[in-house]
């Protein structure tokens, strides 16, 4: 599969130079072939054109796992294999198939993906190609990845010492272990990068830092940069695929040469991504509406790929006298609260529950949000509230 990774890597490097028109032409080529490929899946029957595919949501996608894979893998077998993978055991599935859970959900709602060896090799090539120039990649010796649980999707070439750090330990312990490993490349959620920064850990060979799974506001980014000497860059990936990578200026661009994005206008300045993956063959991802919402900005890096400014969850919009997007509320609070302090705001139409690590932050937040006219309820902060994914801004229906 090394050849597949190399091909994917150099295709990704080549596509970075494409203009917007060239990217759209490439998408048209892939979309034309998508109905033929989709005939392999029981969920789709006699569809001749891309426009005829039904749009589905995450709930439907997860409920129809068996009809949306063409490998005759039952959901029970996939779940067992995914659990084996998290436990460090080899996959029991046939034909080099691997199943894995998403890192952000729990219980029966956990996202479940299925990949074959070629897809995993292609996936790795895409990420490496979007992030590293050839000479830079040759210098990489150690990569640290911190997620809720590991799986075979993240296998790397043997020349690279790849170390996985699970989120099952306390943040300070994880930070200490990562610093002891001293990776060249560090990929971790924001809360772990903050723990490393707060612990004053620093090592000379660290060259790139990426954050995924959780948002990072500009004040947290500045704080981490001040301690590590490197500006963290965003990665956008989910159970459903590799969705975006940073340009050389550190701005996030969508992975549009491998995934076709459509956007539902939420009428509040944000858009819901609807994705169709051109490269997934074992599990169909076609017109899948994500639970995310994004907005866009301009980037002067010269890329033809759309640039994303914020990522949030649709379910975290505050539905008050008007709709407040989660990043709008975060932008009010972030300049006022020390980035080393943990906090959560959970709103309903009647009140705002405030969870703070530091006592002084309650009054700061209440004063900043007094214009909303809601009752404030002070509650103690508990780290389990931010496991496995940290979200500062939440909504209670």
Domain residues of the chain, as ranges? 1-313, 317-395
What lies within 8 Å, CB to CB, of 126 at 6+ separation is: 8, 9, 12, 242, 255, 258, 279
In this prediction, residues 235-239 reach a mean pLDDT of: 86
Each residue of 101-130: b (16+ CB within 10 Å) or e? bbbbbeeeebbbbbbbbbbbbbbbbbbbbb
- State the pLDDT at residue 325: 98
Closest C-alpha among 24, 68, 16, 20 to residue 239:
68
The better pLDDT of the pair 58, 91 is held by 58
| 319 beta partners | 323
The better pLDDT of the pair 120, 355 is held by 355
The CA distance from 327 to 391, in Å, is 11
What lies within 8 Å, CB to CB, of 273 at 6+ separation is: 243, 261, 262, 263, 289, 290, 292, 293, 294
> Angle at Cα 182 formed by Cα 179 and Cα 185, nearest 5°?
110
Q: Examine the pLDDT at 77 and tell me if it is beyond 80.
A: yes
Q: pLDDT averaged over the chain?
A: 92
CB 93, CB 73: distance < 8 Å: yes
| 275 beta partners | 261, 288
Closest C-alpha among 259, 252, 251, 310 to residue 286:
259
| 208 beta partners | 185
Q: For 1-313, which CATH superfamily applies?
A: ANL, N-terminal domain (3.40.50.12780)
Written as six digits, the tokens of 190 are 């924001």
Written as six digits, the tokens of 101 are 């859970």
In this prediction, residues 248-272 reach a mean pLDDT of: 97
Q: Examine the pLDDT at 64 and tell me if it is beyond 90.
A: yes
Angular region, 250: left φ>0, alpha ψ -120 to 50, beta rest = left
85-120 residue pLDDT tens: 777 777 778 888 988 887 655 445 567 889 998 898
The CA distance from 147 to 95, in Å, is 26
Q: How confident is the model at residue 131 (pLDDT cuts 50, 70, 90)?
A: very high
Among 78-92, 217-231, 354-368, the minimum mean pLDDT is found in 78-92
In this prediction, residues 9-28 reach a mean pLDDT of: 97
Written as six digits, the tokens of 230 are 């490197």
Q: How confident is the model at residue 179 (pLDDT cuts 50, 70, 90)?
A: very high
> Angle at Cα 111 formed by Cα 160 and Cα 268, nearest 5°?
105
- State the pLDDT at residue 157: 63
What's this model's pTM, rounded to 2 decimal places?
A: 0.94
Please tell me what DSSP assigns to residue 226: H
């Amino acid at each position: 599969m090394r050849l597949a990774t190399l091909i994917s890597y150099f295709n990704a490097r080549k596509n970075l130079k494409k203009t917007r028109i060239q990217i759209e032409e490439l998408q048209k080529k892939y979309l034309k072939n998508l109905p033929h490929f989709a005939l392999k899946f029981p969920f789709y029957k006699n569809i001749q054109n891309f426009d005829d595919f039904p749009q589905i949501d995450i709930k439907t996608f997860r409920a129809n796992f068996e009809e949306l894979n063409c490998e005759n893998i039952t959901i029970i077998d996939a779940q067992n294999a995914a659990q084996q993978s998290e436990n460090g055991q080899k996959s029991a599935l046939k034909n080099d198939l691997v199943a894995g859970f998403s890192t952000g959900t729990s219980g029966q709602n956990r996202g479940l993906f299925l990949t074959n060896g070629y897809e995993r090799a292609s996936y790795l090539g895409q990420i490496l190609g979007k992030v590293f120039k050839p000479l830079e990649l040759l210098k990489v010796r150690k990569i640290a990845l911190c997620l809720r649980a590991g799986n075979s999707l993240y296998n790397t070439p043997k020349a690279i010492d790849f170390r996985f750090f699970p989120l099952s330990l306390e943040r300070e312990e994880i930070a200490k272990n990562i610093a002891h490993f001293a990776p060249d490349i560090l990929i971790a959620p924001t809360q772990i990068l903050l723990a490393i920064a707060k612990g004053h850990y620093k090592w000379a060979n660290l060259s790139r830092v990426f954050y995924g799974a959780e948002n990072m506001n500009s004040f947290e980014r500045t704080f981490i940069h001040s301690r590590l000497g490197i500006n963290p860059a965003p990665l956008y990936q989910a159970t459903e695929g590799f969705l975006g990578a940073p340009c050389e200026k550190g701005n996030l661009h969508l992975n549009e040469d491998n995934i076709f994005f459509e956007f539902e206008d939420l009428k509040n300045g944000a858009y819901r991504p609807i994705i169709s993956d051109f490269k997934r063959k074992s599990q169909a991802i076609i017109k899948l509406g994500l639970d995310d919402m994004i907005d866009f900005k301009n980037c002067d890096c010269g890329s033809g790929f759309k640039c994303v400014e914020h990522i949030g969850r649709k379910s975290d919009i505050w539905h008050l006298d008007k709709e407040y997007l989660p990043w709008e509320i975060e932008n009010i609070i972030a300049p006022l609260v020390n980035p080393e302090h943990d906090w959560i705001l959970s709103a309903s139409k009647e009140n705002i529950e405030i969870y703070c690590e530091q006592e002084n932050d309650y009054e700061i937040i209440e004063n900043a949000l007094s214009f909303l006219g809601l009752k404030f309820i002070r509650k103690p902060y508990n780290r389990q509230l931010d496991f496995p994914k940290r979200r500062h801004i939440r909504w209670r229906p």
